[in-house]
């Protein structure tokens, strides 16, 4: 449908930032990031406000040229012109708002896509913010920041309306027009100067809200532990303190907004009243006629709405957007490696099977050759260190290093490395939705998903179940048993089909029969690919081509 948002999300390019950009520059970049929509919307907004200012002009001319002379034919023409003016006004109002709303939604989508990429795929595997704070930033702050897109639409129309009124007043009586032309910029500057305190309190209030949301998320996540140690009263007291602090911050922000709106509206009202008073004085002295006074009075009244809207659209929206933009920018810059422009070694192509070499302090290197199915038997502490080094090679402590085709993994392009090497953690998270939703990867055929479910021994609750792939897994898989969650996460790793797959204890939550089935199907599922299985399970190790035994401080790995 014309000018409607398509049903499927559009592909967008992420925002890129570096450590040198300020919150104001970042907000300005966001505000101007959708010119394809905002430029025509601004043009329609100019039409809207110009037509609004034309109403008193047309009425004044109709009175002067038609009513005073009693020419009803000419009066009919002026009335038709007034009606056409209202048609253009309505069209400009509707479609400028529609295009602006679409631009805001597109920028929101782009911002959330950028933040999702930062949160889900940080360069070193970590984002240094609490979950609740992330939620607040990706919802409340993104919404307020995206609203800055309107600054390229509505204020443009409002400024055009003010300029048109000033030009019309110049044509009627040049002193009045000169006062408006010189005074309007001063009024707008004073309104902007008043927005500073509101911007500061807005950012502080959003930070306090994010802290409260983070506290609530922590309480819900750790409720069982809190209940177990009987710390409900202390947890409640701390949450109430955070909530009260956030409420106080919201009150202060609202007070600052009220003071800003009251001050800016007062400035605009005084300016309009001064122009109207000046016009009345010129009428009394005979400098302008009665019909010119009517036109000037109408134009002066038409001057107040764009000034007030300019206060709300430009000042308040900009102040709030800068506060939220600072928080979004902090999150984007908090991901280690953001803004790091050092040269990275390109990772191997996903179709290439690289040689993986893992060096652990106190042990000989473990080498995974292309196409190998290698089992690694070691203690839990060493296994955790290896998994951490493979997951975040740039964040290691130096005790474990990873080489990919002889290149340090930490120097490879992070996105390319993740395309080649996939680490399936011991406890993986599942998405809310169905089994199919958790396996719905771009470009993956249905046959691979079916094969992955079979290889992970998921047929009992998916392929052979009543609802099949439509089975709801619940939030983080809470509708499934522990073994079902673990098998579905394994199926998702198989579906991805990376060149190198690292499995860490993939069958600890299943029974022996199911574990045997997973071990027997592992080789077929990973045929032609490289796989490293870090486990203490004899059944899984038995199915590997080679097994490396790492003792706690052995000097050489044992092979069998």
Report the 10 Å Cβ neighbour count for 76.
11
Could you tell me if 281 and 309 are in contact, meaning their C-beta atoms sit under 8 angstroms apart?
no
Q: H or E element: which one contains 168?
A: helix 154-172
Q: Which residue has the tokens 């010189």?
A: 182
Q: Where are the beta strands (DSSP E) in 369-510?
A: 373-377, 400-404, 407-408, 421-424, 500-504
Residues 187 and 169: their CA atoms lie apart, in Å, by 18
Residue 136: what pLDDT?
A: 73
Give 367's strand partners.
Answer: 357
pLDDT in tens, the chain (560 residues): 455 656 666 677 888 887 788 888 999 999 999 999 999 999 999 999 999 888 888 887 787 777 767 778 888 998 999 999 999 999 999 999 999 999 999 999 999 988 887 777 665 445 555 555 677 788 888 998 999 999 999 989 988 888 888 888 888 888 888 888 888 788 877 876 777 777 778 778 877 877 787 778 778 877 878 888 888 888 889 889 988 998 998 898 888 888 887 887 888 788 888 888 888 888 888 887 776 777 777 787 777 778 777 766 666 788 778 878 888 888 888 754 444 444 455 556 566 789 999 998 878 899 999 999 999 999 988 998 899 899 888 766 678 899 999 999 888 887 788 889 999 988 778 888 899 899 988 888 888 999 999 999 998 888 665 667 888 898 888 888 889 999 999 999 999 999 999 999 999 989 999 999 999 999 999 999 999 999 999 999 999 999 999 864 443 445 55
Q: What burial letters (b/e) apply to 85-101, b meaning 16+ CB within 10 Å? A: beeebeebbebbbbbbb
- Domain assignments of the chain as residue spans, ordered by start: 24-334, 356-559
Residue 8: what pLDDT?
A: 65
Give the CATH fold of the 356-559 domain.
Answer: Rossmann fold (3.40.50)
Could you tell me if 43 and 338 are in contact, meaning their C-beta atoms sit under 8 angstroms apart?
no
Residue 396: what pLDDT?
A: 62
Could you tell me if 250 and 258 are in contact, meaning their C-beta atoms sit under 8 angstroms apart?
no
Residues 236 and 223: their CA atoms lie apart, in Å, by 11
Give the CATH fold of the 24-334 domain.
Answer: ABC transporter transmembrane region fold (1.20.1560)
- The strands making up 373-377's β-sheet, listed across from edge to edge, are 421-424, 500-504, 530-534, 373-377, 546-549, 558-559
Residues 387 and 68: their CA atoms lie apart, in Å, by 90
Residue 211: what pLDDT?
A: 77
Could you tell me if 307 and 264 are in contact, meaning their C-beta atoms sit under 8 angstroms apart?
no
Residue 557: what pLDDT?
A: 47
Report the 10 Å Cβ neighbour count for 372.
20
Q: For the chain, percent helix, then strand, then coil, each to nearest 5? A: 65, 10, 30
Three-state SS at 195: coil
Radius of gyration from C-alpha coordinates of the chain: 33
Three-state SS at 547: strand
Residues 98 and 525: their CA atoms lie apart, in Å, by 51
Record the tokens describing residue 132, joined without a space: 């609740």
Residues 148 and 14: their CA atoms lie apart, in Å, by 17
Residue 555: what pLDDT?
A: 37
Q: Which residue has the tokens 């479910």?
A: 453
Could you tell me if 319 and 260 are in contact, meaning their C-beta atoms sit under 8 angstroms apart?
yes
Record the tokens describing residue 115, joined without a space: 């933040």
Could you tell me if 476 and 396 are in contact, meaning their C-beta atoms sit under 8 angstroms apart?
no
Residue 524: what pLDDT?
A: 94
HSE-up of 261 (CA within 13 Å, CB side)?
A: 11
Strands 500-504 and 530-534: parallel
Q: H or E element: which one contains 532?
A: strand 530-534
Three-state SS at 153: coil
Could you tell me if 327 and 210 are in contact, meaning their C-beta atoms sit under 8 angstroms apart?
yes
Residues 115 and 121: their CA atoms lie apart, in Å, by 10
Q: What burial letters (b/e) apply to 421-437, b meaning 16+ CB within 10 Å? A: bbbbbbebebeeebbee
Residues 267 and 194: their CA atoms lie apart, in Å, by 11
């Amino acid at each position: 449908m014309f000018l409607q948002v398509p049903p499927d999300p559009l592909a967008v390019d992420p925002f890129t930032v570096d450590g040198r950009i300020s919150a104001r520059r970042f907000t300005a970049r966001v505000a101007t990031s959708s010119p394809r929509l905002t430029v025509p919307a601004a043009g329609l907004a100019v039409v809207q406000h110009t037509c609004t200012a034309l109403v008193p002009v047309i009425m004044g001319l109709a009175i002067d040229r038609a009513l005073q002379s009693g020419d009803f034919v000419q009066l009919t023409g002026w009335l038709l012109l007034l009606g056409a003016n209202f048609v253009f006004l309505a069209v400009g109002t509707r479609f400028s708002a529609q295009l602006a709303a679409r631009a805001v939604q597109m920028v929101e989508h782009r911002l959330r896509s950028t933040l999702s990429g930062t949160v889900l795929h940080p360069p070193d595997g970590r984002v240094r913010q609490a979950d609740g704070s992330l939620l607040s930033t990706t919802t409340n702050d993104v919404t307020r920041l995206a609203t800055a897109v309107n600054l390229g639409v509505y204020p443009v129309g409002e400024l055009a309306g003010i300029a048109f009124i000033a030009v019309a007043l110049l044509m009627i009586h040049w002193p009045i027009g000169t006062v408006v032309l010189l005074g309007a910029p001063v009024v707008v500057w004073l309104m902007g100067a008043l927005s500073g305190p509101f911007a500061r309190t807005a950012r502080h209030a959003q930070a306090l809200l994010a802290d409260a949301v983070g506290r609530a998320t922590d309480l819900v996540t750790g409720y069982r532990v809190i209940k177990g140690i009987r710390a409900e009263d202390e947890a409640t007291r701390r949450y109430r303190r955070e909530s009260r602090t956030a409420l106080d911050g919201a009150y202060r922000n609202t007070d600052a907004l009220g003071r800003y709106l009251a001050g800016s509206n007062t400035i605009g009202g005084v300016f309009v009243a001064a122009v109207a008073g000046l016009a009345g004085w010129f009428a009394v002295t005979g400098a302008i006629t009665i019909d010119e006074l009517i036109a000037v009075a109408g134009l002066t009244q038409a001057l107040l709405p764009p000034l007030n809207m300019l206060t709300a659209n430009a000042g308040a929206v900009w102040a709030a957007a800068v506060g939220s933009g600072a928080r979004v920018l902090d999150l984007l810059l908090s991901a280690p490696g953001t803004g790091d422009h050092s040269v990275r070694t390109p990772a191997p192509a996903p179709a290439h099977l690289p040689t993986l070499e893992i060096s652990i302090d106190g042990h000989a290197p473990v080498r995974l050759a292309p196409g190998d199915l290698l089992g690694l038997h070691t203690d839990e502490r060493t296994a955790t260190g290896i998994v951490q080094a493979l997951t975040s090679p740039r964040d290691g402590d130096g005790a474990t290093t990873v080489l990919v085709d002889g290149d340090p993994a930490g120097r490879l392009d992070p996105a390319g490395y993740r395309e080649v090497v996939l680490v399936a953690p011991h406890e993986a998270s599942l998405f809310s939705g169905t089994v199919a939703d958790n396996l719905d990867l771009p470009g993956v055929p249905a046959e691979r998903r079916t094969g992955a479910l079979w290889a992970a021994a998921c047929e009992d609750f998916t392929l052979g179940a009543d609802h099949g792939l439509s089975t709801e897994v619940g939030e983080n898989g809470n509708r499934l048993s522990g073994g079902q969650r673990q098998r579905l996460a394994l199926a998702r790793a198989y579906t991805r089909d990376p060149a190198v797959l690292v499995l860490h204890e993939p069958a600890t939550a299943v029974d022996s029969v199911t574990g045997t089935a997973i071990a027997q199907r592992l080789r077929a599922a990973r045929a032609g690919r490289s796989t490293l299985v870090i486990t203490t399970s004899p059944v899984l190790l038995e199915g590997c081509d080679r097994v490396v035994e790492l003792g706690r401080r052995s000097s050489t790995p044992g092979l069998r």
